[in-house]
Structure 1
Amino acid sequence: MLDNTASSGAAKKPYHRGDLPEALLAAAENVLVRDGIAGVGLRAIAREAEVSHTAPKHHFGDLANLLSELAARGYQRLGEALRGATRDATDYEARRRGVAKTYVRFACDHPQLFGLMFRNEIISLQNANLLAAIRSSLLGMAEAVSERAISTESYASEGISKEEAMRITVAWAYLHGLATLLVDKRLGGLAKFSGFESARMLVEQILDQVTITMTMGEKEE
């Protein structure tokens, strides 16, 4: 285990100076996964990391900022997964379906982290790392619903059209709804009584068959 304090027991590997913030974020995620959002506090994180109870506050200021940094990690992982889903896609339809399944699978595989990423009352949208990570993950969504390549550079210089923004919004709302229903275990009964092996299989088949974006008209407001 890691520690930055003297120990009267077995010798423990000391931190390098720059390692403690990373260790605290890892500890915070461990607590989040094990105890849920309600169990995450600065002292609980310090205990998990086996450091002084003042260490989280010293490095992150307060719990909201620490959780914002953890949420940013979540968005970074989601963004990487979404971009990976589009990287090997052979056509527009494959891109959309790859991103759709990746988004829902990420939520199911990391339900506590996924929940934290959308809890604005306990994270801060003033956190620069969090905002950057959210924007980056949206580019992965944009790639799926646009017929042009959208890189960080093109996004910064050209932006996204109104039609692309509408498509992203529709796709995100649709996928987030499905993901939330799965994470909150609202589809188990429906899946069981309709003959699906599981709620996840129900959603997988939906994503295989249902179009996830709407066709927008040419007219803009």
Structure 2
Amino acid sequence: MSELAASGHRRLAASMAEQADGIEAGQARRKAIARGYVSFAVANPDLLHLMSRNEMLDAARPALTQARQVSARALAGVFSAPAERTEEDRSSFGRTTAAQAIAMTAGWAYVHGLALLLIDGRLNALAASADGIRSAEDLVEAAIEHVQIVPAEPAGKGRK
């Protein structure tokens, strides 16, 4: 199960990277990464659930540990531009500041929540009741476009 989850994390990272390929750092890239997360989740709902079932997985298994780091680094693009991360962050997703951890949690919850709402069919009725929205998938796409995903504030710098 751990090897399967590891494969899922690598595939999730590839989906996010594919969506963001060729898009400059900034809002458009962050939204593309979010789309990659959601599209992977919708295409692989059972695998996504397994990847989140810690009680079924061996967290110490090297392949799973490494694959989780790969997907976390890919997802980190939602929260910060690559230039904002240190070499330590890029190599192991090492220590983070409180601001980075908060931004990462908010962003991860956002994309994971959208994915689960779509997978579970929880948006179907809302989408059907909204003028100009054709499907739950369109509603999620509009939600990704609507939200401004703000990167984590670099250490020692204020937002401008």
Structure 1-normalised TM-score?
Answer: 0.61
Larger CA deviation: 113-122 vs 68-77: 113-122
Q: 2:127, 2:139 within 8 Å by CA — same for their partners in 1? A: yes
Specify which of 164, 182, 185 is matched with residue 100 of structure 2.
164
Tell me the equivalent position of 1:180.
116
Counterparts of 1:104 and 1:118 in 2: how far apart (Å)? 15
Q: 1:82, 1:102 within 8 Å by CA — same for their partners in 2? A: yes
Equivalent AA in structure 1 for residue 50 of structure 2: L
Specify which of 145, 149, 154 is matched with residue 212 of structure 1.
149
**Structure with larger Rg:** 1
Structure-2 change in CA distance of 1:117 and 1:79 (3 Å) = same
Larger CA deviation: 142-151 vs 169-178: 142-151
Within the alignment, does 1:201 sit opposite 2:138 as a pair?
yes
Equivalent AA in structure 2 for residue 156 of structure 1: S
Tell me the equivalent position of 1:146.
80
Q: 1:1-221 maps to which residues of 2 (within 5 A)?
A: 67-149=1-83, 150=85, 155-156=90-91, 159=94, 161-162=96-97, 163-195=99-131, 196-213=133-150
Structure-2 change in CA distance of 1:116 and 1:155 (3 Å) = same
SS in 1 for 2:102: helix
Structure-2 change in CA distance of 1:106 and 1:152 (3 Å) = farther
Aligned residues: 154
Counterparts of 1:213 and 1:203 in 2: how far apart (Å)? 18
Write out per-residue CA displacement over residues 3-62 of structure 1, whole angstroms, 9 at most, x where no aligned residue: xxxxxxxxxxxxxxxxxxxxxxxxxxxxxxxxxxxxxxxxxxxxxxxxxxxxxxxxxxxx
How many angstroms does 1:171 deviate by?
0.5
SS in 1 for 2:148: coil
Q: 1:81, 1:102 within 8 Å by CA — same for their partners in 2? A: yes
How many angstroms does 1:72 deviate by?
0.6
Counterparts of 2:86 and 2:50 in 1: how far apart (Å)? 27
How many angstroms does 1:90 deviate by?
2.1
Q: 2:5, 2:51 within 8 Å by CA — same for their partners in 1? A: yes
> RMSD between aligned alpha carbons?
2.7
Structure-2 change in CA distance of 1:169 and 1:188 (3 Å) = same
For structure 1, the residue ranges without an aligned partner over 5 or more in a row are 1-66
Structure-2 change in CA distance of 1:140 and 1:217 (3 Å) = closer
Structure 2-normalised TM-score?
Answer: 0.82
How many angstroms does 1:197 deviate by?
1.3
